[in-house]
Amino acid sequence: MPKTEVILTHNIVGLGAESDQVKVAAGYARNYLYPQGLAIPVSGTNKRRLEALRQRRAEREAHEFNSMSELAKSISKLTAHIKVKTGEDGKMFGSVTAGAIADELKHQFEITLDKKKIHLEHPLRTLGEHKIELRLHPEVTSSLTVLIESTTPLAHPPEAPEGRGREGREGRDGAAPRTEKRGRRTTEESAKPAAVEAKAEKPAKGGKAEKAEKSGKGEKAAKAEKGK
């Protein structure tokens, strides 16, 4: 396929920026670049336009750099909340992609960002907070906090670790209260026999006194009869 050299008048991703001289397929230049005003043929007359194209390119790149630098500062302070469906075990159905994050930026903060500038090594598949790298410009990078939350409530709350549960029970019941209860029971049990003995002694003493009194009265009555 024959090639032809052209001068780009606009920035074309993957091909070049304005004022660049590149070789492209003759049919591509003739049928697309020239009609769209994206390039001009290389000629003595057109080369005089290179300085103007370079100046316009420098202004565009400076504007993009400043804009992306400001965006980097503001976006690093944001947290994008993304709601997902999960199973009862908390595992996500599917994953969160760069496209989904770009959509949430547009929806939540009205920030339009090409998903290609959101750098993910792999789609996000776990709940919680994630730090995402943003490549906003060849010379500007930033980060975005993404918080993935479940819309499905957990069926059962997570159980406490076994060790902590035991400590908690010991802390609530405590060794001292159990010892104290045992101490009270021991005191009460030791007090009961003493009370029983005291009750038993009282009737015994009363019986002896009554018998002594009766025997004394009997002796006096006998002596009185003999005197008569």
Q: 42-74: per-residue pLDDT in tens?
A: 988 888 888 899 999 999 999 999 999 999 999
Higher pLDDT, 178 or 6: 6
- Position 129 scores a pLDDT of 96
- Position 28 scores a pLDDT of 94
Q: Is it the case that residue 195 has pLDDT exceeding 50?
A: no
Q: How far is CA 75 from CA 71, 122, 160, in A?
A: 6, 21, 38
- Tell me the CB-side half-sphere exposure of residue 44, using CA atoms within 13 A: 0
Mean pLDDT along residues 99-127: 94
- Position 218 scores a pLDDT of 53
- Position 205 scores a pLDDT of 46
Walk me through the domains of the chain, giving residue ranges and CATH numbers: 3-71 (3.40.5.10), 74-150 (3.10.430.100)
Residue 227 CA to residue 45 CA, distance in Å, equals 177
- Position 24 scores a pLDDT of 95
149 beta partners: 83
- Position 84 scores a pLDDT of 93
pLDDT tens for 207-227 read 444 554 555 555 555 555 555
Mean pLDDT along residues 92-105: 94
pLDDT tens for 119-155 read 999 999 999 999 999 999 999 999 999 999 998 866 5
End-to-end CA distance of the chain: 171
φ/ψ of residue 94, rounded to 5: 85, -155
Q: Is it the case that residue 34 has pLDDT exceeding 90?
A: yes
pTM over cut 0.75 = no
- Position 183 scores a pLDDT of 44
Q: Is it the case that residue 186 has pLDDT exceeding 80?
A: no
Query: Which strands make up the sheet holding 21-25, listed edge to edge?
Result: 21-25, 3-8, 39-41
Q: Is it the case that residue 31 has pLDDT exceeding 70?
A: yes
Amino acid of residue 227: G
CA angle 61, 24, 35 (to 5 degrees): 75
- Residue identified by tokens 């750098």 is 119
